Structure 1
Amino acid sequence: MSGRFAGRVALITGAGTGIGAATARRIVAEGGRVVLTGRRPGPLASVADPLGPSALALPADAADGSAMRAVVTQAAERFGRVDVVVANAGGHGIGAAADTTDEAWQLSLDANLTSAFVTIREALPQLVDGGGAVVLVSSLAGLFAGPGVAGYTSTKHALVGLGRSIARDYGRYGVRANVVCPGWVRTAMADEQMDRFGAAKGLDRAGAYALVTENTPLGRPAEADEVAALIAFLASSEASIVTGAVVTADAGASAVDLPTIALA
């Protein structure tokens, strides 16, 4: 690994599992320090402990303004500043519009959109001071609509707008903001979805992953480390001219013309 994060500090939400955990390990491997936050102390500790003094685990709800203000303050006290925010926390949003209750809608807003907005807002003074970088983790659901996920689709779309707004308003202060839209990624959360889907189709987990990715050019799901590599690039100085971008990490799914699938 290069030392491209030497002397830099990244705040990562949803850092206890999946893409967030993989990103934390990647940044530390490249010389950086990380502040890991999420609602569950156990998974955070399991990621932070092997990283030693380069990692600080601070359990918090990323959608809670006062909690994230405290996280940013503690991060600065421990490491001196925050240079990078990876807004990765997310979840919730199952159900078509008519089946989505007010409570379910609010849960989706908090988990996917408010968590990113609040975290970035609280870190912006640090980012402006040092010319930092923001990477928001959206989804292919931020570009297209899947079936029966109105809350998830709406809030993931909104993350694209939030990323562009941050890029537009704070670029003059040296702050960059970019959005990553993964497709299927082999994580604990996706494994659970594949197990449910596979059970309905009479498939095991591997078969379910194969089915949902069979029409993508690469024909497989991503690994969390592959998405983490993209996030690390966008957060690094190697992407110094890249801001306001929306980058897919989807095995080529978004390049496929759906009406021609039957012709393949």
Structure 2
Amino acid sequence: MSTCLVTGGGTGIGAAVAARLARDGADVVVSGRRREPLEEVAATHPRITAMPADAADASAVRALVGEVRARFGSLDGVVANAGGHGYDSVGDTGDDEWRASLDANLTTAFVTVRESLPALEVAGGGIVVVSSLSGLRAAPETAGYTVGKHALLGLVRSVARDYGRRGVRANAVCPGWVRTPMADEEMRVLVEQGGATDVESAYAAVTKDVPLGRPAEPDEVAGVVAFLLGPDARYVHGATLVVDGGAHVVDVPTLAFG
């Protein structure tokens, strides 16, 4: 029986990943800085356990990994999902905002992966880092977020190169728009700016040029993560799987042609 750690596991994609892995028979530890949402997720399934920790704090993550191994006997899978904002252009991003954005979007994954590697080597385990379509493209005025999400792909490739022969697989997923509380807040900003009348019409506006024509549900991303951690993906390594309804294939300069 496998044991998986999911950071940023209290809401959105992280909570959906935890639920999917638990349904598949894994023991799942959800972690994050806020205890209440973690415990709410843990209450939904007996195989989910809440263990709060700041994923950017090396000592906290080291203690977390030790606690997971002591309680469950091993650590077989890690989903580095914790992330945050960073919504300003380069020229408008202050030093403190820059550091906070990289801590939230990059350091959390780096620290979590680094501190988990010894346990994953023993278990022959797997890592999935949740990046974003912003890890492949750039949205307006999202410098910190975009740079952090791009860097996550470099982290995955570095780990894949160095640790594949040690029995550890590492892959990334890049979701596009997903219906989550974080995305809902962004939709409300679009409403406030006059680009939509409500959250639903905002989602419709931001996905109107997406080939599948809608945002993803968190479960749809969770299914891809579960695949990457599972036996059917045992030869998938160092890969980036895009989960965006086809948004990344759209040739922007031809949108005027319909």
| Superposition TM-score tier, normalisation by shorter sequence | over 0.9
* 1:196 paired to 2:189: yes
Q: CA deviation at 1:56?
A: 1.8
1:261 maps onto 2:246 in alignment = no
Write the distance in 1 (CA, Å) between the matches of 2:136 and 2:11.
24
Q: Is the 8 A contact 2:124 2:168 kept in 1?
A: yes
Are the aligned partners of 2:75 and 2:120 in contact in 1 as well (CA < 8 Å)?
yes
Corresponding position: 1:219 with 2:229: no
Q: Does residue 78 of the first structure (1) align with residue 71 of the second (2)?
A: yes
Q: Between Structure 1 and Structure 2, how many residues are aligned? A: 257
Contact map agreement 2:131 2:173 (CA 8 A) in 1: yes
2:31 aligned to which of 16, 27, 37:
37
The whole-number CA distance in structure 1 between the counterparts of 2:76 and 2:196 is 47
What does 1:50-61 correspond to in 2, within 5 Å? 50-52=44-46, 54-61=47-54
Cα gap change, 1:129 to 1:217, in 2 (>3 Å)? same
DSSP-derived class of the 1:51 partner: coil
How many angstroms does 1:202 deviate by? 4.1
Amino acid at match of 2:99: Q
Whichever residue aligns with residue 22 of structure 1, its letter is: A
Residue pair 2:8, 2:31 contacting (<8 A) in 1 also:
yes
SS in 2 for 1:179: strand
| Alpha-carbon distance between aligned partners in 1 of 2:17 and 2:170, rounded to the nearest angstrom | 17
- Which residue identity is paired with 1:104? E
Mind listing any 5+ residue stretches in structure 1 that lack a counterpart?
1-6
* Residue matched to 1:18: 12
Residues 59-208 of structure 1: pairs in structure 2 closer than 5 A = 59-200=52-193, 201-208=195-202
Give the Cα–Cα distance (whole angstroms) in 2 for the partners of residues 254 and 214 of structure 1.
13
- Report what 1:240 is aligned to: 234
- The one-letter code matched in structure 1 to 2:203 is Y
Give the letter aligned to residue 42 of structure 1.
E
* CA shift for structure 1 position 49: 1.7
For the structure 1 residues 23 and 202, does the alpha-carbon distance in structure 2 shift closer, same or farther, using more than 3 Å as the test? closer
**SS across alignment from 1:184:** coil
Unaligned runs of 5+ in 2: none
Residue 199 of structure 1 and its aligned partner are, at CA, apart by 2.5
The CA distance in 1 between the partners of 2:26 and 2:42, in whole Å, is: 13
- Which amino acid letter does the alignment assign opposite residue 247 of structure 2? A
CA gap of 1:114–1:27, structure 2 versus 1, over 3 A, is: same
- In structure 1, give the amino acid aligned to 2:157: R
Please say if residues 196 and 205 of structure 2, whose CA atoms lie closer than 8 Å, have aligned partners that are also in contact: no
RMSD (Å), alpha carbons: 0.7
Identity of aligned residues (%): 57
- AA aligned to 2:225 is I
Structure 1 outlier segments of 4+, above 2 Å: none
> Matched residues in 2 for 1:215 and 1:94: separation?
22
- 8 Å CA contact 2:127, 2:169 repeated in 1: yes
Q: Please report the TM-score for the alignment, with normalisation by the length of structure 1.
A: 0.96
Describe the SS at the equivalent of 2:118. Answer: helix
Q: State the TM-score, normalizing by the size of structure 2.
A: 0.98
In structure 2, the residue matched to 1:4 is: none
Tell me which moved more, 196-205 or 55-64.
Answer: 196-205
